Amino acid sequence: MTLAQETNVNVVLRKQGEIVLEERPVPTIEPDQVLLNIKVTGICGSDVHYWLHGGIGDFKLKEPMVLGHESAGIVVAVGDKVNHLKVGDRVAVEPGVACRKCEECKTGRYNLCLEMRFAATPPIDGTLCNYYAHAADFCYKIPDNISLEEAACIEPLSVAIHAANRSKIRSGDRVFIFGAGPVGLLCAAMAKASGAGHVSMADISPQRLEFAKSYYTDSQIVLQRPDAGESNIEYSRRTSKAILETEEKADVVIDATGAETCVQMSLMLTKNGGCVVLVGMGSAVQNIPVQEISAREVDIRGIFRYCNTYPRAVKMISTGSIDVKPLITHSYPLKNAVDAFEHVKSGRDGAVKVVILG
Amino acid sequence: MANDNLSAVIYGPKDLRMENREIAIPKAGDTDSFATEVQINVRATGICGSDIHYYHAGRIGNRVLDPKNPMVLGHESSGIVSALGEGVKNLRVGDRVAIEPGTYCKKCDRCVEGRYNLCYEMHFSGSLMNGPNHGSLCRYANFPEHLCHSIPETMTYQDGALIEPLAVAVHSVNKTPIKQGSHALVFGAGPIGLLVAATAYAKGAEHVTIFDINEHRLQFATEYLPKIKTVQLPLPESDTPDLLAWSQQTIEKLVTSGVIDRENIDVCFECTGVESCIQMAMFAARRGGVIMLIGLGKGRALLPTEVMSVREVDVRGNFRYAHAYPEAIELVSQGKVPLRGLVTHQYKLEDTLEAFDKVMKGGAGVVKVQIGDF
């Protein structure tokens, strides 16, 4: 096998706060794997979180780890048992490989598999490198009319697809979304693709909402910060009452912030019998107005990553049901990966999705 | 048959008066045949936690009793049809019925999609919302014909008056994935918890474990449902600094000691409304499991939202029932849900105040108290 380049540069989080570029050997592949030349990787909030905080919840960085999990690339070698891919195929990479045998996997909820190996969740190395070995059945060939940049966005798009699946958005539904970051925006796109009649979006940043105006949302609400000394629940009651002066209650409310106030407001803004989907991951413990759940039958569903989304995402982008291109605002070459991370951290220049090109 | 309409009327906290009210003529049907009423001679009425709440506190949430506008209590009733409004098609005088006590508008989006329990204009017996709505703790009450469900001769009036809380159980269980072989936990061994457990078994659940702080209630649960496993929970100290941590530790101890087989717990039914129980329910469910919140309590709880995300544990709510009476009656008449033994105390209508005091005092041996002319 001759590779386009023999070096395998990896973007490694050596420890909290320290990202370095390292050369590592090109991996060998198992019979059921393919070797990918990674071409595009998007940066996710979780990558930045590991960099800045050294861990997320119970997942703690104990040794150096390669970052990145939102990738697309080109097949450069296939294992003996691989039939559906060949050298030269362009693929989107689903970064979490499940065991396929446990009860969760067998019932189709493989995102909950206990043996899940997810790229860039310690201790599994991520995809920000030149060459990456991956289970072939978690690589999805893309048609010519999808670029590798778009294919890299299938990972965050999958979060939005899973959220829509769990909430069962139906034609004509009113959907309200808290959070105008990339995930919230992709949820808006997915809501529209699912037939939502009206999508409202709220955020504390007027700049983010300015972008949202031209991206699958019908109304935008700027949220003020809580008053000094105001408790979260007081803020939430006051603010949701104000929102309901110009907005109707929604069938589905998606929280893409994780902020306690937004979770509280999500419940208050849902119609009787509707559903709240928690996409954002915030504090592990939050003060929840449960009477909205018990007395109005508003369900809450959280999501953990996604399952069974990649094939659909490929079709949606290919047929034009969803356009993810506007979200890709900045790109950096692999050797400037640290600059890319700094850019995401600062959020400057209207950054939505920043990608790294290999 | 009595020709007075002795009724239990609540004016304010601890101010429940037995009064003789009008025996109203059941309303005739019009083009809106929804309104065709029958008059029921009420023969049994169960007392519910919400009745007690009005009696004890004079309010529920921010709905407060107004002594100038008192309300007849009662919503768990059965009786016999005593008169027909003009245009009644499906019932006759002498039919024995279980009463579904909530009149809905039939026009709003919730009604139209079959979730009439969530109707914005719901008038529910014995509730102040859109009210006061006079209930059925009386001798004669009128209800729309379609809300009066015939019960077979094999069901007593006591059984008929248990259909209302059973409908809550049926509606709740149907909204969860309970099926053949399921494992469920039930928090709270009061009438609702017991009926939820019985319904879960009727729907194929293989393992049900019920939790309570009260050993007498758990003893009763074993007599009522011999297959059920019981666990007595400790009560947290009133000055427990971190209730959530207490709840989590309590469940972890039960998991480590093998009392709870967590990764097999499909559904946790929360029937108390107590914050620590809601928390415990969340910590006790499997990945991909479901928590069903039935109990109504303080209204706000500190919850482990991380469990909702990382373990995809869904939290669903239940509010009363919609179209559950036919199934509830069927489950009872087929013997799939037992009711024997649940009614532990019976009082005549004249002795309503004694009945309320009995429920308020509670104590060993009090499960469901009913009032009526059985």
Please enumerate residues of B whose Cβ is less than 8 A from a Cβ of A: 61, 110, 113, 115, 117-118, 120, 244, 273, 278, 287-288, 293-297, 299-319
Considering only the top CATH level, what class is A3-153+324-357? Answer: alpha beta
Q: Does residue A331 surpass a pLDDT of 80? A: yes
Provide the mean pLDDT of chain B. 95
3-state percent helix, strand, coil for chain A, nearest multiple of 5: 30, 30, 40
What per-residue confidence (pLDDT) applies to B2?
Answer: 57
What per-residue confidence (pLDDT) applies to B143?
Answer: 96
Contact B194, B225 (CB under 8 A): yes
> How many cross-chain Cβ pairs, A to B, lie less than 8 Å apart?
119
Asked if A300 has any chain B CB less than 8 Å from its own CB, the reply is yes
Quote the minimal CA–CA distance from A247 to chain B in Å. 17
- What does the pLDDT average to over A169-197? 97
Contact B108, B100 (CB under 8 A): no
- What does the pLDDT average to over B96-123? 93
Convert the pLDDT of each residue in A267-287 to its tens digit.
999 999 999 999 998 889 999
Per-residue pLDDT band at B34 (split at 50, 70, 90): low
Q: Does residue B33 surpass a pLDDT of 70? A: no
Of all residues in chain B, the one with the smallest CA distance to A233 is: B300
Q: Does residue B237 surpass a pLDDT of 80? A: yes
What per-residue confidence (pLDDT) applies to B61?
Answer: 85
Q: What is the DSSP letter of B321?
A: -
Structure tokens at A132: 């990456």
Q: Does residue B221 surpass a pLDDT of 60? A: yes
Q: Does residue B31 surpass a pLDDT of 80? A: no
Convert the pLDDT of each residue in A289-317 to its tens digit.
999 999 999 999 999 999 999 999 999 99
Main-chain phi, psi angles of B354, to 5 degrees: -60, -40
Dihedral over alpha carbons A307, A311, A317, A319 (to 10 degrees) = -140
Asked if A197 has any chain B CB less than 8 Å from its own CB, the reply is no
Contact B307, A290 (CB under 8 A): no
Quote the minimal CA–CA distance from B32 to chain A in Å. 26
Determine which helix (DSSP H) or strand (DSSP E) holds B4, and give its type and residue range.
none
- What does the pLDDT average to over A134-148? 97
If phi over 0 gives left and psi between -120 and 50 gives alpha, with beta otherwise, what is residue B130? Answer: left
What per-residue confidence (pLDDT) applies to B240?
Answer: 86
Per-residue pLDDT band at A340 (split at 50, 70, 90): very high
What per-residue confidence (pLDDT) applies to A78?
Answer: 97
Per-residue pLDDT band at B231 (split at 50, 70, 90): very high
Going along A106-242, which residue ranges are E strands?
Answer: 117-118, 131-135, 139-141, 174-178, 198-203, 219-222
What per-residue confidence (pLDDT) applies to B315?
Answer: 97
Quote the minimal CA–CA distance from A244 to chain B in Å. 16
Q: In 3-state terms, what secondary structure has residue B45?
A: strand
Contact B125, B134 (CB under 8 A): yes
Convert the pLDDT of each residue in B14-26 to its tens digit.
999 999 999 999 9
What per-residue confidence (pLDDT) applies to A104?
Answer: 94
Provide the total of helices (H) and of strands (E) in chain A, helices listed first: 11, 21
Convert the pLDDT of each residue in A221-268 to its tens digit.
999 999 999 999 999 999 999 999 999 999 999 999 999 999 999 999
Q: In 3-state terms, what secondary structure has residue A221?
A: strand
What per-residue confidence (pLDDT) applies to B364?
Answer: 84
Q: What percent of chain A lies above the pLDDT cut of 90? A: 94
Q: Does residue B3 surpass a pLDDT of 70? A: no
Contacts of B321 in chain A (CB under 8 A): none
DSSP notation for A130-156 = SEEEEEGGGEEE--TTS-HHHHHTHHH
Contacts of B247 in chain A (CB under 8 A): none
Contacts of A283 in chain B (CB under 8 A): 305
Q: Does residue B190 surpass a pLDDT of 90? A: yes
Q: Does residue B1 surpass a pLDDT of 60? A: no
Q: Do B310 and A57 touch (CB under 8 A)?
A: yes
Q: Do A278 and B319 touch (CB under 8 A)?
A: no
What dotted CATH number matches A159-302?
Answer: 3.40.50.720
Give the contacts of A164 (CB within 8 A, at least 6 positions apart): A187, A190, A191, A194
What per-residue confidence (pLDDT) applies to B14?
Answer: 95
C-beta neighbour count of A148 within 10 angstroms: 20
Quote the minimal CA–CA distance from A286 to chain B in Å. 5
Contact A209, A201 (CB under 8 A): yes
Of all residues in chain A, the one with the smallest CA distance to B308 is: A302
Q: Do B296 and A111 touch (CB under 8 A)?
A: no
pTM of the model: 0.92
β-bridge mates for residue B12, sequence order: B15
Give which of A297, A298, A299, A306 to mutate to test B binding, by max B Cβ within 10 Å: A297
Of all residues in chain B, the one with the smallest CA distance to A285 is: B304
What per-residue confidence (pLDDT) applies to B106?
Answer: 87
* Alpha-carbon gap, residue B14 to B356, rounded angstroms: 10
What per-residue confidence (pLDDT) applies to B299?
Answer: 87
What per-residue confidence (pLDDT) applies to A1?
Answer: 60
Asked if A285 has any chain B CB less than 8 Å from its own CB, the reply is yes
Q: Do B295 and A294 touch (CB under 8 A)?
A: yes
Q: Do B303 and A263 touch (CB under 8 A)?
A: no
Contact B341, B130 (CB under 8 A): no
Q: Does residue A4 surpass a pLDDT of 70? A: no
What per-residue confidence (pLDDT) applies to B30?
Answer: 67
Q: Does residue A3 surpass a pLDDT of 90? A: no
Quote the minimal CA–CA distance from B63 to chain A in Å. 14
Q: Do A299 and B293 touch (CB under 8 A)?
A: no
Domain ranges of chain A: 3-153+324-357, 159-302
Convert the pLDDT of each residue in B307-338 to its tens digit.
999 999 999 999 999 999 999 999 999 999 99
Q: Does residue B306 surpass a pLDDT of 90? A: yes
Convert the pLDDT of each residue in A48-71 to its tens digit.
999 999 998 888 899 999 999 999
Q: In 3-state terms, what secondary structure has residue B205?
A: coil
* Alpha-carbon gap, residue A319 to A317, rounded angstroms: 6
Of all residues in chain B, the one with the smallest CA distance to A276 is: B315
Q: Does residue B32 surpass a pLDDT of 80? A: no
Convert the pLDDT of each residue in B122-139 to its tens digit.
999 999 999 899 999 999
Quote the minimal CA–CA distance from A81 to chain B in Å. 32
Quote the minimal CA–CA distance from B317 to chain A in Å. 4
DSSP notation for A247-302 = S--EEEEEE-S--HHHHHHHHHTEEEEEEEEE-S---SSEEE-THHHHHH--EEEE
What per-residue confidence (pLDDT) applies to A205?
Answer: 95
What per-residue confidence (pLDDT) applies to A210?
Answer: 96
Convert the pLDDT of each residue in B66-98 to its tens digit.
999 999 999 999 999 999 999 898 999 999 999
